[in-house]
Amino acid sequence: MCELFDIVVIGGGTAGVVAALQTARAGMRTLLVEKNALPGGTMTAGGIAFPGLFYAWRHQVIAGIGWELVTEATAESGMPLPDFSTQIGMKNHSKYQVRLNPVVYSALCDEKMIAAGVNILYHTMVAEVKVVSGIVELRLCTREGLCTVHARRVIDCTGDASVCSLAGYEVIHPAECQPATLCCCLSGYDYNQLDENGLRSAIDRAVAAGELRYTDLGWNKNGSALQFIRKNGDNANHIFPTLPPHTAAGRSALEIEARRSLLRAWRFLRKQPGMEKLTIGFGAFECGVRESAVIRGETTVTANDYISGRKYPDALCNSFYPIDLHEDSHGVVPKPLEEGTVPQVPFGALVPHGSEYFLAAGRCISSDRLANSALRVQATSMATAQAAGAAAVASIQSEKAVYLTPLRKIRDILRKHGAILPENAETHQ
């Protein structure tokens, strides 16, 4: 394979599917490259199948292609949408995340991409990136060996900014990353019939004996928690990276430790009164990684920018989620936004500094740690992906370098495909 594509999207997860659909529906010959066997990323392979937040203060602030996928997947599964009319402030924000069936969602993503004409390569990763005479040359590692494809524009949706890094752009890796989570589905017990005090005592004894860690069953590293049991294994443990999680060695170590954690929890829980018939009906086959890398963009969104709802002249989409930094001591204490605040994502946060051919979307967009802890979530990742897809299309159509792409053309594409633009976007064309 030595084909020329208009746009190649690397990573077929939460962001990548949306970016590929946007570019293909806008008439671009598109290739999606994904390392796993299915699309959807953390929502499918990672089992975190509850994207949010699409609504802020009872009003929808993120729509477009991501919202189309989410609502059609819920309809296919017979799963209800949250009642957004009851949304008051950010209290109980998780209540307004949309529950999905990950199997249905992955199949729907395939169907949508095939209908749009997206070329799809699963089981494939990028080995080398270079630009030759204004065309990006991508060396791909497939199951049958190495091959080369060419692209006029590339969108990095890997979550780790790995393609931008290979292309030579500055990528920032935190000295210490947030813990990951391995999701599963526990059953075979009735939580309301369990002795909570007895369980806590048993957990304390098991931890003291070295048979268990507190974070095998919750987010608090320093005390017993029943979160993993109460939530039936759903997004309720913490797995701490020992090596940088953007590397193969680091991710391997993280995944191995995640399964060790699950095995420790399994062995412990089956011995507890009322949990003798414990079963695991589903286990995600990869960790949900919260943090690994961000690009150094034309604009970096800071925590103050995010919390204040800073209005950017080049804003392309909204975001809505509390600051959500998972820590190693007390788990996570979300910091809600003030009434009426709707943060924005500027075009510059999607563009590696000085980029002519590359964009980034999803959790690796240019932001500081605190801002990124909110921007990384799935609804925002979908919104930034559609924005990046529209920008790649507009860059080609206008024959401009990515960083010089006219905002008007990007916004016109986004409007056409159902996205919600920030309230001030119309006055900054």
Boundary (domain end) residue, out of 283, 314, 348 = 283
- As a whole number of angstroms, the distance between CA 87 and CA 96 comes to 8
Whether residues 164 and 94 fall in one domain: yes
Q: What is the pLDDT of residue 27?
A: 98
Count of domains in the chain? 2
Q: What is the pLDDT of residue 329?
A: 56
**Nearest C-alpha neighbor of 245 from the set 125, 162, 301, 166:** 162
Whether residues 165 and 277 fall in one domain: no
Residue by residue, DSSP assigns 249-273 as: HHHHHHHHHHHHHHHHHHHHHTTST
Q: What is the pLDDT of residue 281?
A: 83
Q: What is the CATH number of the domain that holds 353?
A: 3.50.50.60
Whether residues 269 and 311 fall in one domain: no
Whether residues 22 and 171 fall in one domain: yes
Which two three-digit tokens encode residue 339?
A: 């009434």
Q: What is the pLDDT of residue 197?
A: 95
Radius of gyration over alpha carbons of the chain, in Å?
21
| 155 and 282 Cβ atoms separated by less than 8 Å | no
- Helix, coil or strand: residue 1: coil
Q: What is the pLDDT of residue 118?
A: 98
Domain that holds residue 342: 4-175+292-427
Residue with tokens 């559609």: 386
Q: Give 112-130 pLDDT, tens digit per residue.
A: 999 999 999 999 999 999 9
**Nearest C-alpha neighbor of 143 from the set 121, 161, 112:** 121
Give, in order, the Cα–Cα distances in Å from 131 to each of 1, 92, 126, 196, 213.
18, 47, 14, 60, 48
Q: Roughly how many angstroms between the first and final C-alpha of the chain, as a whole number?
A: 40
pTM given for the model = 0.95
Whether residues 108 and 160 fall in one domain: yes
pLDDT < 50 regions, the chain: none
Q: What is the pLDDT of residue 222?
A: 84
Q: How many CA atoms lie within 13 A of 150 on its CB side?
A: 9
Whether residues 324 and 342 fall in one domain: yes
Whether residues 323 and 302 fall in one domain: yes
Boundary (domain end) residue, out of 283, 314, 338 = 283
Q: Give 388-399 pLDDT, tens digit per residue.
A: 999 999 999 999
Whether residues 36 and 157 fall in one domain: yes
Q: What is the pLDDT of residue 328?
A: 60
